[in-house]
Structure 1
Amino acid sequence: MKNSFRGRLSILGSLCLLAYLGISSFQKNEHQRWGQALLDSLTESQKHEASNALAGLQIDPELEITTFATEPMLKNPTNMDIDSKGRVWITEAFNYRPAIAGNPTNPAGDRIIILEDTNGDGKADKEKVFYQSPELNAPLGIAVLDSMVIVAQSPYIWRLYDDNHDDKADRKEIMFQGIGGEQHDHGAHAFTFGPDGKLYFNLGNEGKQLLDAKGKPVLDQDGDIIGPNKYKQGMVFRCNVDGSNVECLGQNFRNNFEVAVDSYGAIWQSDNDDDGNKGVRINSVFEHGNYGYTDEMTGEGWSVNRTNMESEIPLQHWHLNDPGVVPNLLQTGSGSPTGILVYEGQLLPAKFQNQIIHADAGPNVVRAYPTKAQGAGYTASIINLVEGVKDQWFRPADVTVAPDGSIFIADWYDPGVGGHQAGDQNKGRIYRIAPKNTPYLIKKLHLGSPMGAITALFNPNLATRYVGYKALQSFGEKATKDIAAVYQNEKNPRLKARLFWLLAQGPDGLSYIDKALTNPSVEWLMMAIRAMKTRPFDAWKAIAQRVVKDVDFQVKRELAIALHHVKNTEADAIWAALASQHGGGDRWYLEAIGIGADRLWDARLAAYLALKPADSPAFRDIIFRARTPLANAYLFQFLKEAKPLNEKLRYFRALDFIPGDEKSALLIQLINTHLKQDAAATLIAIRHLAPEYIQKNALARKTVIGLLPKSDVDEFTKLIEKYNLVELKPELMKIILGNKGGRQAAKSLYALAGGNDFINKTFAQGNNTVKRSIIDAIRWHGSKESIALLSQTMLNNKLELIVRKDAAKGIGNSYPAGEDFVLKALKDKQIPANLIPSVVESVSKAWRKGVRVEANTYLSATQSNTKTKHPALNDLINLKGVAKNGIKVFVEQCAMCHQINNEGIDFGPKLSEIGSKLSKEGMYLSILHPNAGIGFGYETFEITTKKGDVYQGIVTSKNETDIILKLPGGSIQNFKTSALKSVKQIDNSMMPDGLADGMSTTELTDLVEYLSTLKKK
């Protein structure tokens, strides 16, 4: 009976939806209410049945969405491609993160499946398994290129071949390897076929390197190894179809999941912020550009303080005020972006044509981003294509164009968005979007003639374009006449552009390029330059000398980028002419100019200065962007001006990007001659001195010591540590004894040579007031030295009890060293009976519940570790909590590690918009099983120093010399890598396992109810 009722509800939902799709606006509103009423009448489980798949989705009113395939035909789709026959290829990830999530696995391995509609009704009715193997383990990318299928699955990128065309993989070979870790979401991603006949692909910020099939490092376009010594974080690449001639086209992204290339060769990509910081972005990829996820010079994370830091976290996230960072096209808030394309079909309405279309699984939406040129860059707006308004399980993992011009969406369909967990392994949907009443019909290709191949090349589907391109190449000279004839007469500029790339690569290619540069279309001029720069500079310098006078800054931008690493005096002159045309204020153009001068700044800037540019905002932009000591004189001229400090910050920051000691010498001179009366400017100048310069220059050292800002205790102590000013140990002790800022002062003192001995000596010689002040300052430090002093004090019967109790109350305040010491000492009965309550109190606020519970057992044998037994997840999600009561639960249980609208401790992911990202099911999973879904960037790292100190926390910044670790409670610990024994990632989340055990079921449901209200406004 129950199953029959559910079936009737599902059928009724389908009928309501059908009725809704072609009725008047009044009727539409009525049916929306009926549809909502139906949805509300279903249980949570029924809402997620495949028969109700469309009920929670909202589609653009000019379009229709239908289900092409659902479970059980497929499960957990991560990526998708559509071949020239209109068949949908899916990579599945049933075996996603089983070790962490605890989910069951299929020992046969994950699958690549082909879904086909054989009867033309728009529904897949045939399924084939192209490949399944235990080696296939949650792949994240697929590209179908005729009989070759490229599959990305960290640490490998594979090529699978269907040699006999039976839709079964006959062989598999490694294309690239050494990418990130096994199953890493931030590693290898999908490949895309470009109009130039090359492949484009990307690696997320755990990719780190690229090795060839034999395990040897792949070299980039400069002959350099592709790896962390040259490139930072996520990267985007171009290569030949066989994997040769790899070029790195951009770097310093976070988790760039897929790349899109339009017919003109323009490149578009998206990536996202560290969770909760509202920094998802869309980018126009300037070749060889830096996109600012970490500090370009130091590799430090975005949250590390810097001069001229942006005012808002979403902007800070990408170092947008730093010279050398390409601007973002658009920032869309919180999310987990995945698939992206440029829609060059004509089936969808005009507002979607030739626009970026993008899937973001976080806010459950597929969007278009119409772009407009603005100076040398772009602006963009947002149009939603389809949104999971009433179904937060809608997780669009990919979006692809079919041969008929319709759009297909692969839906991971899950309460969460990956992030190392799958809440539902068995569901997955494929949707088709097209104008209403548009059948899914695929025309047969005729690749036996050049004209048939050209028709294929003109298709909006990339797999179809590939077979057309490949066929035209195979025809050779036989096809040239037909290509040239169609090229001459074709009116659609994007279709014509695809033929241009073929002709530009031929023997008369330069003449086609030269002629294309007379086209009035800006897109054509940019495309011609992109094709031109693939040839040696001598072949196109005359063209460049002519184009440099072009009036459109989009074209100048491409020419500036084309000069990247072209070492030639004539190239210097062209660059200088381009730089002299910068009008100021166009950051896109400035960054293109900077890309064109990379590694060549001495010669480039000298050529520019030889033109005797007048002082102007544009001139100051160029100096701000320069990377050569030649810029120092001008920067310091700007810094000496009688202008507000906030107008000088960018020039102080620019100094960080200029090599050599000259800037530090000039800073000392500036401090002594112009800044002595300006404490704020003096402090900023001191911050930009190179520590190594201070160490080797006694006069500079004396100057710094004399000007340290004693009134700003935190800054004072940090600068002493930064510049290793060992002679100021007594000053740090004064701060400790003054009981204000002692925690930071103690940290800095321990970091100095001889600091531990100085602390111990002062403690031994001091009275009770001195001793208690030192205890209060060191109790958080968690080093062997600090714990040893606290332990010795606690156990020293010759000291007064009040001092010993202070030590006992502080000994467990550090994590994890102090907490672990307490448990061991209690277990080994090393604590005097009268001090056990004080020692237990020291861990009473430990974030690990197990520590608190175990310590409490030493107070009373009657106390026990009581757990709250909550209902099963399926029952929890049907309970209704009280949101306003959940606020109190958040403050008591979560605010020590999370922020909502800047309230709480900045440690774990921010939760201000968590209701837009996770369904209730996803929230319960995260709270009940924190180790099953650890957000990238919030993994637990254990750091062991050479002295034996152990720390656990979140690495917020890491470079060759320094690591910054954020500890529970939001405190920061800085380490020199030279002082470390090991740095290792551990499996457990920093979120305490068993957090929910300390809540009643009412408190848990109230908390989730409250978190569900936190949505993007």
Structure 2
Amino acid sequence: MPNRQNLLVALALVAPFALMSANPDKPAKAKKEKAPFVAGKPAFTPDPEIPAFEASSVKPDHLEPGAFKVPEGFEITVWATSPQLFNPANMDVDHAGRIWVTEGVNYRRHSGRSREGDCVRVLQDTDGDGKCDSSHVFVREKELECPLGVAVFDNVIFVSNAPNIIKYTDVNRDLKFDPAVDKREIFLSGFEQPQHDHSLHSVYAGPDGRLYFSNGNCGAEFSDKSGRTFRIGGAYLNNPYAGAKSDDGHVYVGGFTASVDENGHDARILGYNYRNSFEGVRTSFGDMFLNDNDDPPACRVSHLIEGGSFGFFSRDGKRQWRADKRPGQSIPTAEWRQEDPGSIPAGDVYGGGAPTGMCFYENGALGEKWSGLLLSCETGRNVVFGYLPKPDGAGFKLERFDFCTTNTTGVFKGSDFVGGAKNLSDERHTLFRPSDVCVGADGAIYISDWFDKRTGGHQDTDETCSGTIYRIAPKGFKPKVPALDLSTVKGQIAALQSPATNVRHVAFARLKAAGDINMPAVQKLREHANPYIAARAEWLLAQLGEPGLISARVWLESEDATKRLVALRAIRAATNDCIEILSNLTTDLSPMVRSEVAVALRDVPAAQSVALLSKLSHHIDGSDRSLLEAWGIGCTGKEEAVWSALKPEGSWDDAFAHITWRIHPAKAVSDLAKRAADGKLSAEQRKLALDTLAFIPEASAAKAVLELAKDKESPLHADAMWWLIKRSTDEWSAFGVAEALKKEGVFDPENAKLVTIATPPAIPCTVKLEDVLKLNGNAKNGAQLVTRCVMCHQIKGQGVEFGPNLEGWGRSQPSEIIAQALIEPSKDIAHGYDGQEIVTKDDVTIHGMILTEGDIMIIRSMGGQNQYVAKSRIKRRRKLDQSMMLNATQLGLNAQDVADIVAYLRTGK
């Protein structure tokens, strides 16, 4: 082991512990929120000193169009701005082109600032000049506290305001809610934590006629109007539902996406185990995409596979991802459990941020080139990201670009991943906080801007509550909203072609209600040149009774794989009686079609589905993770039967090894143990077998790994030991792993030699931040200085995993934040990197991070050294009140040295 002097040097640049700043899941931040979990109980304490908000007394502000960068050929204009609206949290577009906005004047600590409650506002351009000239309140209620969603379907308006989805019906269609005339009902309820960003989000329509919404990892216990209850929990805010089974027979944890029919019946969970997906989309092809928040920097935009888990919590919901992070794993890999069976591909993981609204452009003013454009708001980075998803096996390639931004510098302010409230700025290019994006009824793109120095952390700072809606369209665009008579078939067919998602839903519902009488018009629409519009007609045909279903089957025979996929999805949405179709498509040439067949088999009994899943497995070799995971979802509850049906007589190939890893049946234990011990196999093949054993919650699997650990010369010994001690704290806790390790002579936790590794006491730093910021840094010299930190950090593929990986990290950090972390590392220690002091009964002192709790604790200290400490040997334990690093003075760095290191980390070269 390194000597003490080397260990002191190794502490250099553990500063980023302080940089990846706090977030809503950080224990220190969540103390107020960890009261006993009570449905409907606010997760915050309002500030009684906050004065009432008077719109007439504020001087609102907004960014001018010239501050924005948009694609060539487009222009951005101000469509509406304060005082026409304030703090826009979410928005939607109706068939007349009006924009409906939920406001968050009462956001979090500002609860009560608008004494009568927050509101839903209606904005419109009455003279067609491309600017809002009319704004009024549809509804304002004290119960509304920064509602995070609004969806408009003609005269029916859904507002997402935890714990409820509220349904308003504007009976007299005057665009103003009057309780004496109009209707108000609770559509669904049971979504935990009002006034919490990780709670209930917006409703939106799918091409199947169903309503969709998402909820963050605050949890929920809600019942649909069919009487089925869904319980979704996790290791956050003392949620009591973690590991509870829902009435559909499945266990869901974390954030989730759900759908219901328009009457609130037949709820389904379509994806789960998120941190906090703010919004998602379902395209007219039926593809689902969503974004998700970071903890710490691992925000993502992803393709959702139906029934899939993204892995933020453990399978039972009782552990957050960091508790299960394996040695050597990067944060994105660990946070979304990308090396665990049962976690679907995370998509584009882009780092720190605070993503919000999404939309998908299929037709409209932008032109054919942009058809299929996915947009995702990223408030932490002052940008709306664009993607043109490209099919990639059973999944998609998501290549990100900046569609609309005010900040091209790569230096961000006010977001949790760059210091949050401790790193605010008045630099105007950092004030753009796009809360939502949607496609207008005129086909243009509309973006709402919250406008603030701060985003995330449940905080805002702009006392004027300024807000703006911008429009992006081709240069010289003249807006024109088609006049739609939704009472006629012609108007409904026209509305089904609308660029605006929820406008299409109104047409879908009315055409469906009329039955097959309108089939000729719908069949004609299915021949439309725009494939998305044609797909909308296919979904509808399948729901126009038996004649419509027959017509929809025609696309199953198409040479176009997308048409076959849409037809299968549309038929599945229309009827549960499609096992024959699923059987016929098990050998389809398209991996996306086969993936859809697989997920459709999840709840089909084994007697009908095992043979089909076996056929599907012939196309799986492990290289297409999306296809493998979709197939695994289809095997849910039938893993043992499927594996038995597939097991070869002789040796396994790699494809079968990956299949076994994905479904990890108990019947495979003995075969896996032999493979893991087989010296003729490659190290990678043997490790896959070991990892598969680690995910089988059976005593036989624990015993098999124990046998592997006995061979201390085996290349798997260290991994086997880690799994044994890790699993002894969770899935194998009842199997006496610690006792068995001692009995078998593998490891005696009571008598193992422990070594003191302690962080030196902090001393005042003589380097001043203001002095560093005056200097020009020399990145080349900084590259030399940074090499001393590889004892605790990985950079450019070298170094030890103890502190955060520095690769690319500094490029998104302001210079002052990097410098501050070197000068005063204890000022802001990142979530998950808090140090602990363990003192044993024989006075060995260990400073480090606790990787696992249990009878045997794994403690990682500086230099990346792990020690296994029996809990029975601990005399006392406390949280360190300082960072586990030396400041610049202790490291012998002067102001210029710090500036040089900052320059290197900011440029990466």
Same fold (TM over 0.5): yes
The code of the aligned residue for 1:79 comes to N
Structure 2: distance between partners of 1:153 and 1:209: 15
Give the CA deviation at 1:235. Answer: 0.6
C-alpha distance 919-104 of structure 1, shift in aligned 2 (>3 A): farther
Structure 2: distance between partners of 1:384 and 1:639: 46
The code of the aligned residue for 2:331 comes to I
C-alpha distance 320-900 of structure 1, shift in aligned 2 (>3 A): closer
1:435-450 residue pairs with structure 2 within 5 A? 435-450=474-489
Percentage of matched positions with identical amino acids: 28
Structure 2: distance between partners of 1:201 and 1:541: 28
Give the CA deviation at 1:365. Answer: 1.3
Q: Is the 8 A contact 1:548 1:578 kept in 2?
A: yes
2:150 is the counterpart of 1:129? no
Q: Is the 8 A contact 2:244 2:251 kept in 1?
A: no
For each residue in 1:262-316, what CA deviation from the matched residue of structure 2 results, as whole angstroms up to 9, or x when unmatched? Answer: 11211111113213x2x22221111111112233357433333555x66432222
Alignment correspondent of 2:191: 179
More divergent stretch after superposition (392-401 vs 643-652): 643-652
Q: Is the 8 A contact 1:627 1:658 kept in 2?
A: yes
Alignment correspondent of 1:245: 266
1:664-743 residue pairs with structure 2 within 5 A? 664-671=702-709, 675-678=711-714, 680-689=715-724, 691=728, 701=740, 706-708=745-747, 720=749, 728=750, 731=751, 735=753, 741-742=755-756
Give the CA deviation at 1:632. Answer: 1.7
For each residue in 1:923-942, what CA deviation from the matched residue of structure 2 results, as whole angstroms up to 9, or x when unmatched? Answer: 99xx99x99x999x789999
Q: Which of 93, 96, 106 is matched with 2:107 structurally?
A: 96
TM-score, normalised on structure 2? 0.74
Q: Which of 88, 92, 95 is matched with 1:81 structurally?
A: 92
1:255-274 residue pairs with structure 2 within 5 A? 255-274=276-295
For each residue in 1:704-729, what CA deviation from the matched residue of structure 2 results, as whole angstroms up to 9, or x when unmatched? Answer: 65122xxxxxxx7xxx3xxxxxxx2x
Alignment correspondent of 2:665: 628
The code of the aligned residue for 1:591 comes to E
Q: Is the 8 A contact 1:201 1:258 kept in 2?
A: yes
Alignment correspondent of 2:256: 235
Give the CA deviation at 1:334. Answer: 2.5
Structure 2: distance between partners of 1:705 and 1:298: 33
Q: Which of 528, 540, 557 is matched with 1:490 structurally?
A: 528
2:614 is the counterpart of 1:576? yes
Structure 1: distance between partners of 2:231 and 2:251: 11
Alignment correspondent of 1:712: none
Structure 1: distance between partners of 2:86 and 2:458: 16
Give the CA deviation at 1:483. Answer: 2.5
Alignment correspondent of 1:295: 314
For each residue in 1:231-257, what CA deviation from the matched residue of structure 2 results, as whole angstroms up to 9, or x when unmatched? Answer: 221111111112221100111111111
Other structure's SS at 1:482 match: helix
Q: Is the 8 A contact 2:330 2:805 kept in 1?
A: no
1:52-451 residue pairs with structure 2 within 5 A? 52-98=63-109, 105-171=113-179, 172-210=184-222, 217-218=229-230, 224-225=245-246, 230-275=251-296, 277=297, 279-296=298-315, 299-304=318-323, 311-389=329-407, 391-426=429-464, 427-451=466-490
More divergent stretch after superposition (224-233 vs 958-967): 958-967
Other structure's SS at 1:338 match: strand
Structure 2: distance between partners of 1:202 and 1:962: 38
Structure 1: distance between partners of 2:865 and 2:87: 39
The code of the aligned residue for 1:685 comes to A
Give the CA deviation at 1:622. Answer: 0.6
User: Which has the larger helix fraction?
Assistant: 1
Which structure is larger by alpha-carbon Rg, 1 or 2? 1
Give the CA deviation at 1:545. Answer: 2.0
Question: Which residues of structure 1 form unaligned runs of 5+?
Answer: 1-47, 709-715, 721-727, 744-775, 781-812, 814-841, 848-867, 871-875, 943-952, 978-988, 992-1002
C-alpha distance 941-565 of structure 1, shift in aligned 2 (>3 A): farther
For each residue in 1:839-867, what CA deviation from the matched residue of structure 2 results, as whole angstroms up to 9, or x when unmatched? Answer: xxx9x7799xxxxxxxxxxxxxxxxxxxx
Other structure's SS at 1:173 match: strand
Q: Is the 8 A contact 2:356 2:378 kept in 1?
A: yes
For each residue in 1:734-762, what CA deviation from the matched residue of structure 2 results, as whole angstroms up to 9, or x when unmatched? Answer: x46xxxx247xxxxxxxxxxxxxxxxxxx
Coordinate RMSD, CA, aligned: 5.2
Other structure's SS at 2:217 match: coil
Q: Is the 8 A contact 2:323 2:851 kept in 1?
A: yes
Q: Is the 8 A contact 1:299 1:957 kept in 2?
A: no
Q: Is the 8 A contact 1:907 1:966 kept in 2?
A: no
TM-score, normalised on structure 1? 0.66
Structure 2: distance between partners of 1:282 and 1:580: 30
C-alpha distance 75-880 of structure 1, shift in aligned 2 (>3 A): farther
2:650 is the counterpart of 1:638? no
For each residue in 1:335-374, what CA deviation from the matched residue of structure 2 results, as whole angstroms up to 9, or x when unmatched? Answer: 2211112211142144421121221112111122112222
C-alpha distance 971-96 of structure 1, shift in aligned 2 (>3 A): farther
C-alpha distance 604-161 of structure 1, shift in aligned 2 (>3 A): same
Structure 1: distance between partners of 2:620 and 2:176: 56
1:913-924 residue pairs with structure 2 within 5 A? 916=812
Other structure's SS at 2:611 match: helix
1:10-89 residue pairs with structure 2 within 5 A? 50=61, 52-89=63-100
C-alpha distance 154-550 of structure 1, shift in aligned 2 (>3 A): same
Other structure's SS at 1:498 match: helix
C-alpha distance 531-439 of structure 1, shift in aligned 2 (>3 A): same
> Which protein, 1 or 2, shows the higher relative CO under an 8 Å CA cutoff with sep ≥ 6?
2
Alignment correspondent of 1:810: none
Other structure's SS at 1:440 match: coil
Structure 1: distance between partners of 2:529 and 2:609: 35
C-alpha distance 665-548 of structure 1, shift in aligned 2 (>3 A): same
Alignment correspondent of 1:561: 599
Give the CA deviation at 1:1014. Answer: 5.0
Give the CA deviation at 1:78. Answer: 1.4
Alignment correspondent of 1:452: 491
For each residue in 1:179-202, what CA deviation from the matched residue of structure 2 results, as whole angstroms up to 9, or x when unmatched? Answer: 232211111111111111101111
2:541 is the counterpart of 1:529? no
Alignment correspondent of 1:512: 551
Structure 2: distance between partners of 1:526 and 1:554: 7
Give the CA deviation at 1:430. Answer: 0.7
Give the CA deviation at 1:119. Answer: 1.5
Structure 1: distance between partners of 2:859 and 2:172: 54
The code of the aligned residue for 2:564 comes to L
Give the CA deviation at 1:469. Answer: 1.7
Structure 1: distance between partners of 2:737 and 2:433: 60
Q: Which of 537, 540, 553 is matched with 1:502 structurally?
A: 540
Give the CA deviation at 1:212. Answer: 6.0
Q: Is the 8 A contact 2:851 2:860 kept in 1?
A: no
Q: Is the 8 A contact 1:392 1:919 kept in 2?
A: no
The code of the aligned residue for 1:78 comes to A
C-alpha distance 645-954 of structure 1, shift in aligned 2 (>3 A): closer
1:812-851 residue pairs with structure 2 within 5 A? none
The code of the aligned residue for 1:270 comes to N
Give the CA deviation at 1:229. Answer: 8.9
C-alpha distance 194-688 of structure 1, shift in aligned 2 (>3 A): same
Other structure's SS at 2:269 match: strand
Give the CA deviation at 1:64. Answer: 0.8
Question: Which residues of structure 2 form unaligned runs of 5+?
Answer: 1-58, 233-242, 409-428, 837-846, 872-880, 884-894
Structure 2: distance between partners of 1:421 and 1:410: 18
Other structure's SS at 2:291 match: strand
C-alpha distance 270-568 of structure 1, shift in aligned 2 (>3 A): same
Other structure's SS at 1:606 match: helix
Other structure's SS at 2:319 match: coil
